[in-house]
Every structure is written in C-alpha cells, then in structure tokens.
Structure 1
Amino acid sequence: MLITINADNPQPRLIQQVLDILEEGGVIIYPTDTVYGIGCDITNKNAVERVARLRGLDPSKAMFSFICQDISQVTEYSKTINNDVFRVMKHNLPGPFTFILNSNNKTPKILKNRKETIGVRIIDNNIVDALVRGLGRPILTASLKSDDDITEYFTDPQDIYAKFGKQVDAVIDGGPGGSVPSTVIICTGNEPELLREGAGVLQ
C-alpha cells in the first residue's frame, strides 16, 4: 500500500490509517529528516523480527535505533542522562542525529545489544512526529539501503514502493528522501563522542 502524506501538513485521516497498521503489528517505510527508514512499533517483537529479516539481519545482533517524540520519552528507555549529554541533546534535537545511550529495563529485550545500549532519534519530520505522538510509543527505525553501487540509499518513494511494496504493509510517500544518514553520537561515557559523521553538525 502506497500512502501519500503531505510533509508540511500531514492529513489526520492518513496518519490514523498508518497508526492502525502499526497497532496491528505492521511494518512501514517512511520518510525521516535524513534517509527513508523502515520500522514498526518497538513493543511488537514479531514486527521487529520482520524488519530484521527484511534488512537481512540477525534480530539478536541487529543494532536498531528507535524514534521518540521528545527527550522525556527518551529518558523512559535510558539510564540517567548526565547534564552535558542532556544539554547537547536539547540543543540539537529534533534533528539528524542518533544518540547512543545506556538502556534501562523498559527497553524491549529484542532491542538490547551486548553493551546494553540503544540508539535514539528525535526526528525533524512532521509525518514521523505525528506517528510517534499518535502511537504513544517509539517507532523502530532502520535506514533503507539500496543495493545500487552508486546510490547507497533510496531517495524516491516510487522506487521504494516498486521494490518493497509487497514486503511491507505500507510505504509512505512524503516526498524525496535524503542520501546522507544521521550523525551518530556515543553518549555512554562522561562526554559525547562522535562515532559517525552524517547529516547533522553538532551545535
């Protein structure tokens, strides 16, 4: 199913249509403020495993991130965030960053890795914001990579639908996607540390 949603003013009826899919354990492809992503409700183990299979990953080893609606929701799934990290997150989010934090016991077991860390994002995208707020829970996010030798990520939702339309429950067309992934910042120590340089530049 291809659902075209206005990126500036997401139509509530269409947002609810996608929310119903997520509530039923569906897997969706959606735009972000960087590249297109594939995901689901993080509390649905079967859906998370399905995303892993679609990405060709072992669910027990996959390093998935998830999207929260705000920093308050981030703190529900992470251990105490120190003041320096909190200031950096508050100053740069929403935006094209993934922050690696120490996870707590509320984080679904399937999303915990051996280091017991999680990757969290707060995305500057009206469609995703409406979905996360409407669901009331974070949404899993994994970058939708292309097997093209030239283009690493899919940018055209029509191309995405042609390739993945029969493998997922919905593809959201929110306009052209980016081609540069998020900047990844490790925040498990005393000070934030750059792991991967991407679309975001820390302020």
Structure 2
Amino acid sequence: MQTEINNALKVLKEGGLILYPTDTVWGIGCDASNPDAVKRVYQLKQRVDSKALICLVADDRMLKKYVKQVPETALNIIEVTNKPTTIIYDEAQNLANNLIADDGSIAIRIPDDDFCYWLSRKFNGAIVSTSANISGQPTPKSFKEIASEVLKGVDYVVNLQKEKICDKPSSIIKLTNDGIVTIIRE
C-alpha cells in the first residue's frame, strides 16, 4: 500500500488525476486546491462544472482547514454514523473556486479507509473524490466496470484492485450553519 500512496502522491502534487479505491466507490481524484486539475476532472467526466464534486479529508482537524465554521452537529454525525457519509458544509475555503458550489458550499467526507486516510494525511490536503464514470452513466460497482475512457483519462491508476471492492456511494447530508439538516442521498 505504501508504494501506491507514494505513486499517487507524486501525481497529485504534479496536478495530475488519479483513479483510486475509496471507502465507497472507485473515485477520480486530484488536488482539491488546484483549479486546473479540478477542470480536468470535469472534462474527463464530461460534467458541467456547476455541479460540485466531493472531497475527502483525513480527519476533523483537516476538515476545519476547508470549512470556515464546522457545526458541532457535523462532528456528532461523523462520530456516530456507521456508513460512509458526505456532509455539505456552508462557507468553503482554501479550495479551488471551480470545486465550490455556487452557494459557497462544499461536500466533504472523512473516509473510514486506510488508503484514503494515509493518502490525504501525507498529501496534507483535501483530495477530490468523484465516481469513476462519465456523467450520466452508471457508477461502476467494481474496477472491471470502469470505462476505458476513464482509465485512459487519468495519470495514475492505484493498483489495489484485488484488495478493495467498492460498490455503494456515500450518503449525502446538507448541514447549514444555522442547523438545518437535509438528506440529499440516503
């Protein structure tokens, strides 16, 4: 796993795209603070950039770097949830502008996954994580279902296919600073 982390780190630091297993589905990733890399993700997915992408961070300390005010409720949800949960936060900061939604929000997940944790920790930053499919096509449930154009469109494919089977996207909750909780995807 260490070799794969090092290889992915090199690509992320150079502004490249990676294809990697997450705690949910296979993801296309890049440095979440690099607008050119984020633009390449949108182009690869053939997705309009008005539809925001999800980011992964290692822990709640890192989360506070990218969200001006992390509601206490969010920390409680993160602590008690028993399945991968992405939270949409108000007032994103320190991220590429083309990654942040028009309303200033950002979707972030703290994954329960060793590879993602160590990749984000050693990168010391947020990493984009969007499903490894062309927009409008089904989310691949395994590595072998990933379209060839996605495989060819990234700069590095993390070689952990045999160790990891990812098949369900995360739940998504929108949590506003004034305490309103909306379930976007169960």
* TM-score normalized by the length of structure 2: 0.87
Structure 2 counterpart of 1:86, from 75, 83, 99? 75
Displacement of 1:67 in angstroms is: 0.4
Question: Do the aligned partners of 2:133 and 2:147 also contact (CA within 8 Å) in 1?
Answer: no
- Alpha carbons 1:52, 1:62 under 8 Å: kept: no
User: What is the CA distance between 1:161 and its match in structure 2?
Assistant: 7.1
Aligned residues: 183
Partner in structure 1 of residue 54 of structure 2: 65
1:139 maps to 2:127: yes
Maintained 8 Å contact 2:66/2:94: yes
C-alpha deviation, 1:169, in angstroms: 0.6
Q: Select which of 137, 151, 156 maps to 1:170.
A: 156
- Do the aligned partners of residues 194 and 148 (structure 1) sit closer, same or farther apart at CA in structure 2, a change above 3 Å counting? closer
Gaps of 5+ in 2: none
Pick aligned residue for 1:124 from 112, 118, 129: 112
Question: C-alpha distance in 1, partners of 2:34/2:74?
Answer: 29
CA shift in 2, pair 1:172/1:82, >3 Å = same
Q: Contact conserved, 1:84 with 1:191, CA < 8 A, in 2?
A: no
1:45 aligned to which of 35, 40, 65: 35
**Which has the larger Rg?**
1
My pick for the range that moved more, 68-77 or 138-147, is 138-147
Q: Deviations over 1:153-188 (max 9, x none)?
A: 213324437443321111224235333211001111
TM-score, scaled relative to structure 1: 0.80
Question: Using the alignment, how far apart are the partners of 1:140 and 1:41 within structure 2?
Answer: 6
Structure 1 unmatched runs, 5+: 1-9, 198-203
Cα separation, 2, equivalents of 1:56 and 1:106:
25
Please, which moves more after superposition, 22-31 or 97-106?
97-106
Q: Structure 2: which amino acid aligns with 1:168?
A: V
